[in-house]
């Protein structure tokens, strides 16, 4: 305590000495400069103000689009004599989520990014849910953008389906939550004992396994089926989604199993 007090007194004396030195040498006696006489700034046109006001919104939308592009991948399943394409997304830095039927029977699995980069996936690192149409693949490389889970949306809430319809370019289609259904009431080919989200965001073949996002870009479900459209390449506008709550409950209840590849 005594040493601390002494250092405080010493510091005070040094600061006082510096101030006194400045006064003696004129450092502290320089008069203040006169106020500058700047010309008045020109008025900003209303059109420029409007453009500046809109720019942050546009940049935010662009940033969100880029994040979704980097998060969502095209999944290619090469099986015995056939090839199929679905969608998937990063659930964490080393896990891709998609549908069970997208991974079924795969001899070779590949993932394509939105900008054309293809990565081979290890089929032995793929697993699917026993009771629900969900699948996961562990990947060695670090995935650049991971989905952020959100709360379950209410009926009427806006949502966006993201994926690679017909194996083509990445798309984002918009709609709303129409209803929550009992999964046992669906067509027997896709029925399961859990809750299903029915949405109006149109999808096509190839969207399976893609994420459904809320208005804040948060993950709220996984696309797995749709009411058939008038043709293979057309959408009916009625899409079925696995809510995150259903996925979590049914995976806990039924467990998972390894993907059984066909033998080429």
CATH of the domain at 163: 2.40.10.10
Q: Is residue 98 part of a domain?
A: yes
What are the φ and ψ backbone dihedral angles of 166, each rounded to 5 degrees?
60, 20
SS3 category, 174: strand
Q: Is residue 92 part of a domain?
A: yes
Check whether residue 128 and residue 183 sit in a common domain. Answer: no
Assess contact for 184 and 191: CB atoms under 8 A: yes
Confidence at residue 99, expressed as pLDDT on a 0 to 100 scale: 95
**End of a domain among 144, 168, 198?**
144
Confidence at residue 191, expressed as pLDDT on a 0 to 100 scale: 92
Confidence at residue 115, expressed as pLDDT on a 0 to 100 scale: 84
Q: Is residue 210 part of a domain?
A: yes
- Give bridge partners of residue 127 from the DSSP assignment: 136, 258
Rounded Cα distance, 229 and 71, in Å: 28
Structure tokens belonging to residue 225 = 């089926």
Question: Alpha helix locations (H) across 26-99?
Answer: 46-71
Confidence at residue 98, expressed as pLDDT on a 0 to 100 scale: 96
Check whether residue 135 and residue 202 sit in a common domain. Answer: no
Q: Is residue 106 part of a domain?
A: yes
Check whether residue 116 and residue 84 sit in a common domain. Answer: yes
- Give bridge partners of residue 213 from the DSSP assignment: 160, 219
**End of a domain among 111, 144, 177?**
144
Of 152, 153, 172, 240, the C-alpha closest to 200 is 240
Q: Is residue 27 part of a domain?
A: no
Q: Is residue 48 part of a domain?
A: no
The domain total for the chain is 2
Domain range for 173 is: 158-253
Rounded Cα distance, 107 and 104, in Å: 9
Q: Where are the beta strands (DSSP E) in 153-251?
A: 158-163, 171-182, 195-199, 211-213, 219-228, 235-243
**End of a domain among 144, 168, 194?**
144
Q: Is residue 165 part of a domain?
A: yes
Assess contact for 101 and 220: CB atoms under 8 A: no
Q: Which residues of the chain have pLDDT under 70?
A: 1-42, 44, 48-61, 264
Structure tokens belonging to residue 216 = 């804040």
Confidence at residue 22, expressed as pLDDT on a 0 to 100 scale: 37
Instruction: Note the pTM of the prediction, 2 decimals.
Output: 0.75
């Amino acid at each position: 305590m005594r040493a601390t007090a002494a250092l405080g007194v010493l510091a005070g004396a040094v600061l006082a000495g510096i101030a006194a030195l400045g006064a003696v040498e004129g450092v502290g006696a320089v008069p203040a400069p006169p106020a500058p006489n700047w010309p008045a700034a020109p008025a900003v046109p209303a059109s420029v103000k409007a453009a500046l006001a809109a720019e942050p919104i546009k940049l935010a939308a662009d940033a969100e689009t880029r994040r979704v592009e980097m998060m969502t991948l095209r999944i290619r399943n090469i099986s015995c004599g056939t090839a199929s394409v679905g969608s998937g997304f990063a659930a964490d830095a080393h896990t891709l989520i998609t549908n069970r039927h997208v991974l079924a029977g795969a001899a070779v699995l590949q993932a394509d990014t939105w900008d054309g980069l293809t990565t081979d996936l290890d089929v032995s690192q793929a697993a699917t849910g026993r009771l629900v149409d969900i699948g996961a693949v562990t990947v060695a490389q670090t995935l650049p953008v991971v989905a952020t889970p959100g709360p379950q949306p209410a009926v009427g809430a806006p949502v966006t389906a993201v994926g690679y319809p017909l194996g083509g370019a990445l798309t984002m289609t918009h709609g709303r939550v129409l209803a929550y259904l009992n999964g046992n009431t669906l067509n027997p080919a896709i029925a399961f004992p859990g809750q299903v989200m029915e949405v109006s965001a149109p999808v096509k073949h190839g969207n399976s396994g893609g994420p459904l996002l809320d208005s804040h870009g948060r993950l709220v479900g996984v696309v797995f089926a749709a009411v058939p459209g008038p043709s293979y390449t057309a959408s009916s506008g009625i899409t079925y989604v696995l809510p995150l709550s259903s996925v979590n409950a049914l995976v806990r209840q039924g467990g998972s199993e390894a993907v059984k590849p066909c033998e080429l």
